[in-house]
Structure 1
Amino acid sequence: MNKYVVIDLETTGNSPVKDDKIIEVGVVVIEDNKITDRYSTLLNPNKAIPPFISNLTGIFDEDIADAPTFEEKAEEITNIFNGGYLIAHNVPFDLGFLNQELANNEMIQLTNPVLDTVELARILYPKSPSFKLEQLTEYLDIYHDDPHRALSDAYVTAKLFIKLKEKLESLPYETIDHLLTLETMFKSDLRELLVERHRQLAFSTDENDEIVSYRGLAFKKTENNTVSDDVQISSYGDYLDDIYEMNGSMQQYMEKYEKRDGQREMSETVFDAFQSHNHTLIEAETGTGKSLAYLIPAIYEAVKTKKRIVISSYTTQLQSQLLENEIPLIRKLIDFPFKASLLKGKNHYISLEKLERELATDQQNNYDIALTKAMILVWLTETDTGDIDEIQLPSSGYLFYKKISAETEGYVDPSSPWFTRSYYQKARQKAQQADIIITNHALLCTDMFNGYQFLPRYDKVIIDEAHHLEETASHHYGLKLDYISLQYTFNQLGMTDESKIFSKLLQKYTFNQDDLPLKKWDDIFLKAKYEIDDLFRTLYQYVLDQQKNNKSISDIGRTQYRFEDEREEPQKWNTIKEMATRLTFFIRDLIHILTIVEQYLDKKQVLEKYDDDEIKGSMQILQSFNDQIEQLFLIDNSIPQVKWIEIDTHGAKNAVYLYSEPTDISTLLADDFFDKKESVILTSATLTMKNSFSFIQNRLGLPTDRLFTKKITSPFSYQDQVQLMIPDDFPDIKEGNLDEFIYATCEAIISLAEITDGRMLVLFTSYDMLRKTHTLLKETIDVNKYVLIAQGISSGSRSRLKKNFQTFDQAILFGTSSFWEGVDIPGDDLSCLMIVRLPFQPPNHPVYEAKSNYLKEEGRNAFFELALPNAVIRFKQGFGRLIRSTSDRGIVFVCDARITKARYGKYFIQSIPDVPITIDSTHKLMNKAGDWF
């Protein structure tokens, strides 16, 4: 079949069964990989088009008033599909609408083979940042002249399909072979295309030099690093001049480059810290260009001294920016070579050995697992790194990926053929040879608290996004245990009749049953599973019983409860501790049986490496569970800990998450990190409160005897670019007027949206308040005019919600927690930032409560030393969302009167750049906002 018919529909809504109708049809025909025909028609749905649809598509009631009905055009449309594939970007939607309309008119429905370009794009372009048509075509450089019109969308979908088909026809034999085994699970009827490609390759002698294969897997050939020759470099002052002055280099290589004095000042500060072996805190406000500012001296110092320097960031987004943007730019600016590499934890890298084994194992695939395997197989032909963060797997695909990450490999013998093909080992080798190692806070802290065995040796380190270091270090020194992880591990192990890890061992190897306690496995296994269920259900109920007096709600809507042995109800708590003790005994017994099995098979010299890894890995995970249970419930910790439980009150009765963190990480960081390193540079846009670094210095345990501090001000003209507006007539929440406060917030959102055409980011400190505001706003705002996008309510990740917000001309984005930082919406997409409440943590938040009590016991002021600085830094992060370039303009509207009325309010205002502030009635503020815009 060589005919492909692409269809796109515009409709009055999303559901044909709820009487939504087609208002436009666009069809494009492809033959011999060329577009040969096009068809388009408007259709009269005999009902009004909703304003939202008209705004999206540009099709209004008057446009379709004289158009034909679907019944009049049905035969003409369906005839186009004769003898061809039906293709759409999300086939179920378009084919579902088409067939519903045909059924409504008692006509024969279409039964063509289908190809879904969403699904095909996920498989064939797994590295695409999005699979929405607009973003996907932009990623593949396909021109889209009129999005959200049927013929234009059908045309670019046709162009997209041609690219997808070309990509399919470039895949190697081994990849096609595996895809054929997965094909029956796909929505798309791919078999004929795959078989044709398989046949071509079977009789082809052409070889792709870029691809290598081993044991049925095809993957991209990657080059090993070679060590740099010695290089001669000038003095640091000349080096800086070369970059900033002599060649006009920045202007030459950076579009829209603006000279920034603060950037050079920061570079010199970092260099001075390296030379004097001092630690340094640098607050570089938005617009400084801090990434380049610290990379320039770091590269110089690393190459000059022949000692690697580590750069750590909190987000993968910044790691990508450094590797893909800043480092290639510096290579153009300087005349000597240097090596930079990225190193993450083992769980980020795929194991080819484990993947090969999983693909060879006969097991049932559900749709998500089949799609995950297909995406990975294609991605292997493209990736240089094997870093799973390069692609977006389906949600349940990550469970499958856990089984094939390098973390599951155990010890890999350097003489093994898999060792030289290991992405993780290649990343480590590159890091060993690199001048600059880029990593994340998570691996930095794992390395720090485990005897520095994960990163190559280093003496100097730059920590960007340093306001996250305390939190990350606390997480990594602490622990997390949840019901789902326990159940997942036990389900992988299985009983003797379940065809899981333990059962497969019994089937594969010959055992002397009399000498081994194998018959005890099922009994102990069932008791352990029962105890897990019982313990977590009891914990769930315990939190429900206690929450009346000790309730705290997390950012994602879970109920939180901090527990301490001495303050719990003795009878109930002792029961929980007895359950935990019994569970540790059962888990210990399972570890004992696995140990005996491993030793028995090892002694007989029949144990294969893969099975040995499985057994050792299972034992390690079970032992870690035991250690965690003991630390949470059964032993006293030498370092003061905060322990808490989170439950999902709308989830299952065992949806329980257990956490523990040190109450104070500063001593650990001082002893394990700052005392051991020559120079640690910590930088962020938000480190100070009222121009003082004392808060972050104390929280991190930075020594005062060798510490520089530096504040680099922003080059932006905040006086001209921003208006800070604070209403003085909002209801006071303290007086129990929560509903009135939310109502006033909604009125302000509606008024500001009219002035700014939407384009608003509204930041909340509580998910509960976000939800209530969203519910009320839906009833009061014109939802046909404004698109409301809300974290935790609208589906999708943070980046997906941000992209959706930028897609619509008139949208309002509601966010909490993670939306206060790291969300960049430059230019006209964002004109107003509303901060609903000052971002204080709730006083009964488990971590804050424990840290607060710890400070009080030491005779210190918990509010001024902990609550206020944290809130100010968070406020500064939120404020920084609005102005991202010299051309941005906008309003920051703060609904919380405490910023002007409370004695501590000045700390917030004095910690942000100097901006014009207006405090007045909401009505007058709106008038001023309208005039200013």
Structure 2
Amino acid sequence: VSQLHRIERFAAMTTTGDRADLADVPEDAPVWAHATSTRDNCLGQECPDYRDCFVMRARRNALAADLVVVNHHLFFADVVLRDEGIAELLPACNTLVFDEAHQLPETARMFFGESVSTTQLTELARDARLELRAAGGASPELDRVATRLDKAARDLRLALGEPGARLAWTQALRLPDFPGALEKLQTCLKELERPLAEQAERSEGLASCARRAGGAVAVLARMGESEGQAEVRWVEVYGHAAQLHVTPLSSAELFRRQMMDHPRAWIFTSATLAVGEDFKHFTRELGVPEAETRRWASPFDFAHQALLYVPKGLPLDPNDPAFTQAVIEAALPVLEASGGRAFLLFTTLRALRRAHELLRSRIGFPLLVQGTGSRSELLSRFRTLGNAVLLGSQSFWEGVDVRGEALSVVVIDKLPFAPPDDPVLAARIESIRAQGGNPFTELQLPQAVLQLKQGAGRLIRDETDRGILMLCDPRLVARPYGRRILRSLPPMKLTRRLADVEGFFRDYQSGSQIRHQGALLRRPSGVR
């Protein structure tokens, strides 16, 4: 309730309605579901708050602007709505510039696929009851059907077991309670769809609920169809919800069709589009093999600003149960030399949690951990503290900018190869193999290189930054492909000696003192 009051006060003060501006309420707080509308339940012009809606206000501003800045998700949401003939979120334009374009293929696959979540279905059950009452009537039978749908959706989530899993559809169907829970959910959804369709003319809200029910029935029906060669069916399990997906294996043809249907300038930029000098992975993923490509050198002097440290003595197999402990033991003297001021980035949440257990009683620096606050809040604390150590996973590998002395070390535990049992990746691997290709060199290795470059890019953000990039995966030097990965990184001097790291920070501290003294000596010359 207190969080809802904070949101209410924020809504009265904000001019944008941007949730990220309200740090007091975590981004994943369940209360947001009661305070925000979605594509599913938005009433459009029928909404009593339409004129004051933050989204509509932003759209009006966009229509009047010469330059519009949006994220990838809003762009694709606009594409989907235009293709369905429902609405347009963004104005027409003659030039599109995509920054962080390395994310586009995955985002496109998500939007060009179909999905339904248990959260959507519990919200549908809730909204159906509310809309019926708002329309001036009540139906005990519809109430009962909605309650059964709510329970069936929650039971489906429980049938999937522990959170954090990504299951192929065939795996999910082998779980003892899942097929029965799925059948029950489909039955309850169809039982709700029929009375909603009969009541749809009574209000826009009920009509919206009827459309949502019909859409969910269609997605669940698709989930039961035999899997085509160009798509994969899978399930994602969260703490209190599950999402069922039908995802295209490639977004290339779909994205290319968008480009052909809308002739204009399409520009894609990112620090991580190329593997070395090679753009083929990106252009193939996006379906633009004929695109003109160009790469510019970084303005940073990596040879002098940074040092790449690959420690010795770690287990040769990064999947060794003792690997995370070995990473922490190797990182401790580096943290001591740097005085904290470090990001420790992990490829899994399990490794992050283990690192937290190992570090919390062994360092004298402030320790910040992903999940204990919003990303923006943790970054603000990290910058303010000046000597903190931050443990992060996926969300801290990119889109994070900490300049200056607050960040002088980035430690990465393993090469970020996606787990081969991930249902989408496994299906894509099989598809490449069936076409006679090499999944490792065409997909897995390029993805890992680009992700590693993103993580490494957190270190040097300015011409005056200096720091250590510590990569703990022995495969960088033990496997032939390690050389290709190293060549793709910024041109930093490579060392395997801890003494070089300690010397780097001694030289850095001496240089800082000299610069500081020089500033003190020069300052009086400007006094009058």
Structure 1 gaps, min length 5: 1-365, 495-499, 509-517, 545-556, 602-611
Corresponding residue for residue 526 of structure 2: none
2:337 equivalent to 1:755? yes
Corresponding residue for residue 166 of structure 2: 560
Amino acid at match of 1:834: V
2:126 equivalent to 1:491? yes
Distance 1:709 1:804 in 2: 39
Q: How many Å apart are 1:409 and its aligned residue?
A: 5.0
Corresponding residue for residue 647 of structure 1: 237
Corresponding residue for residue 431 of structure 2: 854
Distance 1:886 1:479, change over 3 A: same
Corresponding residue for residue 369 of structure 2: 790
Corresponding residue for residue 813 of structure 1: 390
2:306 equivalent to 1:722? yes
2:58 equivalent to 1:467? no
Amino acid at match of 2:34: F
What per-residue deviation string (whole Å, max 9, x for no partner) do you get for residues 830-855 of structure 1? 11111111111111122211211111
Corresponding residue for residue 400 of structure 1: 34
2:72 equivalent to 1:441? yes
Amino acid at match of 1:489: L
Q: How many Å apart are 1:559 and its aligned residue?
A: 2.1
Corresponding residue for residue 501 of structure 1: 131
Distance 1:408 1:656 in 2: 19
Amino acid at match of 2:382: F
Q: 2:3 aligns with which of 368, 373, 376?
A: 368
Q: Is the 8 A contact 1:368 1:396 kept in 2?
A: no
2:37 equivalent to 1:431? no
Q: How many Å apart are 1:573 and its aligned residue?
A: 6.9
Q: Is the 8 A contact 1:674 1:703 kept in 2?
A: no
Name which one, 1 or 2, has greater alpha-carbon Rg. 1
Distance 2:48 2:473 in 1: 63
Corresponding residue for residue 160 of structure 1: none
Distance 1:811 1:422 in 2: 40
Q: How many Å apart are 1:747 and its aligned residue?
A: 1.8
Corresponding residue for residue 13 of structure 2: 378
Amino acid at match of 2:33: L
Q: Is the 8 A contact 1:372 1:397 kept in 2?
A: no
Corresponding residue for residue 357 of structure 2: 775
Matches within 5 A, 1:139-150: none
2:146 equivalent to 1:525? yes
Distance 2:31 2:144 in 1: 32
Distance 1:533 1:796, change over 3 A: closer
Distance 1:575 1:418 in 2: 42
Q: Is the 8 A contact 1:644 1:846 kept in 2?
A: yes
Distance 1:391 1:796, change over 3 A: closer
Q: 2:193 aligns with which of 588, 595, 601?
A: 588
What per-residue deviation string (whole Å, max 9, x for no partner) do you get for residues 767-807 of structure 1? 1111112212224x14xx21221213xx1011211222223
Q: Is the 8 A contact 1:527 1:586 kept in 2?
A: no
Q: How many Å apart are 1:419 and its aligned residue?
A: 6.3
Distance 1:398 1:723 in 2: 44
Amino acid at match of 1:695: H
Distance 1:789 1:386, change over 3 A: closer
Matches within 5 A, 1:279-318: none
2:496 alignment partner, SS class? strand
Distance 1:777 1:420, change over 3 A: closer
Q: How many Å apart are 1:417 and its aligned residue?
A: 9.8
Q: Is the 8 A contact 1:470 1:699 kept in 2?
A: yes
Q: How many Å apart are 1:386 and its aligned residue?
A: 5.2
Q: How many Å apart are 1:929 and its aligned residue?
A: 4.1
Corresponding residue for residue 513 of structure 2: none
2:383 alignment partner, SS class? helix
Distance 2:356 2:175 in 1: 42
Distance 1:390 1:802, change over 3 A: closer
Distance 1:644 1:932, change over 3 A: farther
1:591 alignment partner, SS class? helix
Distance 2:236 2:230 in 1: 20
Corresponding residue for residue 225 of structure 2: 635
1:593 alignment partner, SS class? helix
Matches within 5 A, 1:206-285: none
Q: How many Å apart are 1:669 and its aligned residue?
A: 0.8
Q: 2:463 aligns with which of 886, 890, 902?
A: 886
Distance 2:500 2:334 in 1: 10
Aligned sequence identity (%): 27
1:436 alignment partner, SS class? coil
Corresponding residue for residue 250 of structure 2: 664
Distance 1:421 1:836, change over 3 A: closer
Q: Is the 8 A contact 1:718 1:913 kept in 2?
A: yes
Q: Is the 8 A contact 1:670 1:703 kept in 2?
A: no
Distance 1:873 1:787, change over 3 A: same
Distance 2:461 2:23 in 1: 27
Distance 1:406 1:631, change over 3 A: closer
- Coordinate RMSD, CA, aligned: 2.9
1:467 alignment partner, SS class? helix
Distance 1:393 1:473, change over 3 A: farther
Structure 2 gaps, min length 5: 509-528
1:592 alignment partner, SS class? helix
Higher relative contact order (CA 8 A, sep 6+): 2
Matches within 5 A, 1:52-91: none
Distance 1:614 1:874, change over 3 A: same
Amino acid at match of 2:194: D
Amino acid at match of 2:327: T
Distance 1:571 1:816 in 2: 32
What per-residue deviation string (whole Å, max 9, x for no partner) do you get for residues 27-80 of structure 1? xxxxxxxxxxxxxxxxxxxxxxxxxxxxxxxxxxxxxxxxxxxxxxxxxxxxxx
Distance 1:810 1:420 in 2: 47
Distance 1:737 1:621 in 2: 47
Distance 1:796 1:637 in 2: 40
2:293 alignment partner, SS class? strand
Distance 1:488 1:898 in 2: 47
1:643 alignment partner, SS class? strand
2:340 alignment partner, SS class? coil
2:368 alignment partner, SS class? strand
Distance 1:422 1:808 in 2: 38
Distance 1:760 1:503, change over 3 A: same
Q: How many Å apart are 1:624 and its aligned residue?
A: 2.8
How many pairs does the alignment contain? 501
Q: How many Å apart are 1:696 and its aligned residue?
A: 0.1
Q: How many Å apart are 1:378 and its aligned residue?
A: 3.2
